[in-house]
Amino acid sequence: MFLTTYAALLGAIVLEIVATSCLQASQQFTRPVHTAIMCACYCASFYCLSVVLKTMPLGIAYATWCGVGISLIAIVGYVVFRQALDAPALLGIALITAGVVIINAFSKTASH
């Protein structure tokens, strides 16, 4: 069950990254293909997240989904969209990432 939960969570995160990237690339929904991919990926991401919620508390699942998503989309923004982040933004993202690691490594409520 542990591997299934984290596989579904990983799927939800990857789909959310693709969807958010397509949101940027859709240019305010003026590109139909990017908009359609965005909608499909967000729906699939939420489905995967709902699978995770069968065995993981909502707060833990959502914190992990959001935290990892924030960190990865910042990297995608920098690499793909050439969006630089300043030091306070990088520090904040590092703290979010540290929080996710602490929750998943040490919390007894992370998965049951």
pLDDT digits (tens, 9 = 90+) for 61-97: 999 999 999 999 999 999 999 999 999 999 999 999 9
Four-CA torsion 49, 50, 55, 61, nearest 10 degrees: 40
Q: Does any domain span residue 112?
A: no
Secondary structure class of 41 (helix, strand, coil): helix
Instruction: Give domain status of residue 61, yes or no.
Output: yes
Cα gap 45→103, rounded to integer Å: 21
Q: Is 100 inside a domain boundary?
A: yes
Report the domain count for the chain: 1
Structural domain range at position 67: 2-106
The Cα angle at residue 51 between residues 37 and 14, in degrees rounded to 5: 40
- What is the tens place of the pLDDT at every residue in 8-63? 999 999 999 999 999 999 999 999 999 999 999 999 999 999 999 999 999 999 99
Which letter does DSSP use for residue 108 in this model?
T
Residue that is written with structure tokens 């699939």 in the block: 44
Whether 111 is in a domain gets the answer no
